[in-house]
Structure 1
């Protein structure tokens, strides 16, 4: 019967974190070998535990590095290297960035579309990459074939020859190839998986990768998310990897439940260490029904906004960056269903401007119609001022986009002073707000 090698895994873990190890008597704690033989070589350690299967590890901590304060030397600002932004102001070499969103909003679809924009050097979503970049996209949850479907759908939608991505895009699945850079043990605490980090760094350098996307961040570690110290260690290790490899690293992170309210970057699941460690943090939110009514879209679930920073300090809905998820057929079905798989692809979407296509003569026509009656400010009233405006501009108030446009025009023209709000009594002698053309 094979004897279980008690303690070998603790010994290997200690060695991975820089400790020199010796097998020790499990009862007395005395080393079974001379202390001069202490080693961090995994093969040596395994051989020792083959010889002493019941041993416990005796660990010698690594010698602390000697600290030296660096004297400041003036550098001419004109000679300083510029920050190397690769995609807008979100991705920058030697730093980690993050996307925060609840499940199903579109963060993976957006990250992969941006990856292909970087790999092709094309402004697929309205942002021109600083240069064509080599990108490694790692998805820790989905199988490889699902990522392949998404890449194919993006290429079909944007008219990209998929062979253009060869040598520029790398994609991997955590189901086939895990990337776990940290683990947590109830006894020894959190530790960085040094061999994995080294392999990760070597892979990035060997392939000259510019951008690494980890989707999702939670799949890259095995530590408790509510442990701020542990999460700080993991997040800062990703930042250190970015610095060591001269890459931009993006961490895709889930948010906690917000009870229906818009998420902020501070709602990242678990501790706030991830937010503190990254240079740029975006937050994604689904379009609300209220915003759908303002914009006139039919299916608000297909739209989401992206903000950099706290949502309560961000711009109003019409000032945010908006995206739409459109279905793309892969055409991989049988003859009876030629459409095949449908995959959602992220596209840039512009918030409608009510003034698009509106001229001064259009306002004059609307003013004439408004002057023919008495019209309420409230869009819930049967005599709403939007009705004569819609009539003059030949817009259909039963159409969501048209109704949203009229709503917007009313607000703009009141704000500009072209229309004025006055109080008057209705037929029941109730005070109401009415809209008139400015004198």
Structure 2
């Protein structure tokens, strides 16, 4: 054996370097048999205006060719919400405040845990509430119940292992295309397969298979999912039970939440009624800007199916209707803020809502609110908080008459008495400004006598027009509410 023949791999490595040899071996690996070569495709530049719009089906929630998830705890109104959504889609009417793109859509509700009677109750209650006639959805609404034989299983896991039931996906795709379905709702997802729901690799395969169906049929697949038992508190996309792979594969994830006790108290809604208010938000808006939560109120609809030919109460079924969170600044005008600043500046008012000298009592009088009413008191607190945040009001700490340190509400930046300042929405934004030639905390004179505390007495305040012209102000608060005669302010 020659010296050259005796050289082994280690000798070559010493000469050329191990890294060089590894790179050469990696580059020399053959392409597997029966496989196409992998090639990179150069990007073809396009005119942005020629790119098709995203094919939305419903608001910015449901996008064709994708899967969407709805995540909610039991009993929150999920099925009620979906019944209203189905009617909105099939009728083409924005019943729940969402745009139905391209006119009426064909919708398939496939519920795997309720019977047809229960499904009909929800659908007909919503139809009765919104006056939807049969002709509006005829031929566009399809409903199946797993409890009545229309079962659905897309994957199994047995002794032979996990496998997708591809013939089922093929049959689903064919029926979706045949019926020209735009939106298929599967409720709940957990009942549509027999795989381990905590296994990410398996759930990912199921979700991706649903995605291929949505793409092939050019429809939206909505998979309704429950929250985990540990998902107490606010529901998010990550509250979904089982593997996170389902959420990762979806293009939108709607989460449904009940109103929190703190929010109900702030809005003056009795705690026994807060369960009627739910919010819906896309917690994974990765193809559109995240929308603010949409609020809905659950109302009861009597089906009229009671005994005595409907002369006695029948089934009372919940229906969702859009609801707007009250804005505490609704109907609050700049003149109201100026008047409140004047009275606070002339007296002494506490921050503490339990105090008989609470500044909120001034707000209540000026806005004709009842500080003893829970809803009004909640609104007053929000108004004060808004003005404090924006600087129209401020707090300072100083001793009271007993030399105990207290927090007091004082005027921050005075509201300018000019049309320009009033037109900037100062009442809402608290966009008060320091008036020229007007000392801080000292607005124009507020008339006869001192202005005592809220608990002391009513006073008569003569308000002069000051620097503002007659066209800038009126007697109803549309501007600053000044007038030329004595007026009971508090």
TM-score after normalising by structure 2: 0.71
Q: Which moved more, 1:383-392 or 1:331-340?
A: 331-340
Match of 1:426 in 2: 400
Whether 1:355 and 2:329 are equivalent positions in the alignment is yes
SS of aligned partner of 1:175: helix
8 Å Cα contact 2:371-2:377 kept in structure 1: yes
CA-to-partner distance for each residue in 1:207-254, whole Å, 9 max, x for gaps? Answer: 110111111111111111111111111111111110111111111111
1:115 deviates by 1.6
**Cα distance between partner residues in 1 of 2:70 and 2:105:** 19
| Selected match of 2:364 from 390, 399, 423 | 390
Q: How does 1:306-325 map to 2 (within 5 A)?
A: 306-309=280-283, 320-325=293-298
Q: 1:155–1:398: structure 2 CA closer, same or farther, 3 Å change rule?
A: farther
Unaligned runs of 5+ in 2: 1-32, 413-440, 442-490
Whether 1:174 and 2:129 are equivalent positions in the alignment is no
Match of 2:55 in 1: 84
| Selected match of 2:160 from 180, 188, 209 | 188
1:258 deviates by 3.8
RMSD: 2.4
CA-to-partner distance for each residue in 1:106-139, whole Å, 9 max, x for gaps? Answer: 2222222112111111111111111221111111
Whether 1:341 and 2:312 are equivalent positions in the alignment is no
Whether 1:116 and 2:87 are equivalent positions in the alignment is yes
**Cα distance between partner residues in 2 of 1:333 and 1:228:** 48
1:160 deviates by 1.3
| Selected match of 2:303 from 323, 330, 336 | 330
Whether 1:408 and 2:378 are equivalent positions in the alignment is no
8 Å Cα contact 2:281-2:292 kept in structure 1: no
8 Å Cα contact 2:350-2:357 kept in structure 1: yes
**Cα distance between partner residues in 2 of 1:66 and 1:328:** 62
1:319 deviates by 5.2
1:436 deviates by 1.9
8 Å Cα contact 1:369-1:392 kept in structure 2: no
**Cα distance between partner residues in 1 of 2:115 and 2:35:** 46
The ranges of structure 1 where at least 4 consecutive aligned residues each deviate by more than 6 angstroms after the TM superposition are none
SS of aligned partner of 2:147: coil
1:370 deviates by 3.5
Match of 2:44 in 1: 74
CA-to-partner distance for each residue in 1:259-314, whole Å, 9 max, x for gaps? Answer: 64212101210110111110111212111110112222231111122222279xxx
**Cα distance between partner residues in 1 of 2:63 and 2:303:** 33
Q: How does 1:86-165 map to 2 (within 5 A)?
A: 86-131=57-102, 132-165=104-137
| Selected match of 1:279 from 251, 275, 278 | 251
Q: 1:65–1:206: structure 2 CA closer, same or farther, 3 Å change rule?
A: farther
**Cα distance between partner residues in 2 of 1:388 and 1:366:** 6
1:75 deviates by 4.8
Match of 1:296 in 2: 268
Match of 1:44 in 2: none
TM-score after normalising by structure 1: 0.79
1:416 deviates by 2.7
| Selected match of 1:202 from 158, 164, 174 | 174
Q: 1:421–1:258: structure 2 CA closer, same or farther, 3 Å change rule?
A: farther
1:192 deviates by 1.3
**Cα distance between partner residues in 2 of 1:66 and 1:399:** 75
8 Å Cα contact 2:231-2:239 kept in structure 1: no
**Cα distance between partner residues in 1 of 2:193 and 2:236:** 23
CA-to-partner distance for each residue in 1:41-72, whole Å, 9 max, x for gaps? Answer: xxxxxxxxxxxxxxxxxxxxxxx984554634
Q: Which moved more, 1:331-340 or 1:193-202?
A: 331-340
8 Å Cα contact 2:251-2:284 kept in structure 1: no
**Cα distance between partner residues in 1 of 2:342 and 2:220:** 58
8 Å Cα contact 1:324-1:348 kept in structure 2: yes
8 Å Cα contact 1:366-1:393 kept in structure 2: no
CA-to-partner distance for each residue in 1:127-154, whole Å, 9 max, x for gaps? Answer: 1111221111111111011111111111
**Cα distance between partner residues in 2 of 1:400 and 1:163:** 45
Q: Which moved more, 1:292-301 or 1:148-157?
A: 292-301
**Cα distance between partner residues in 2 of 1:337 and 1:374:** 61
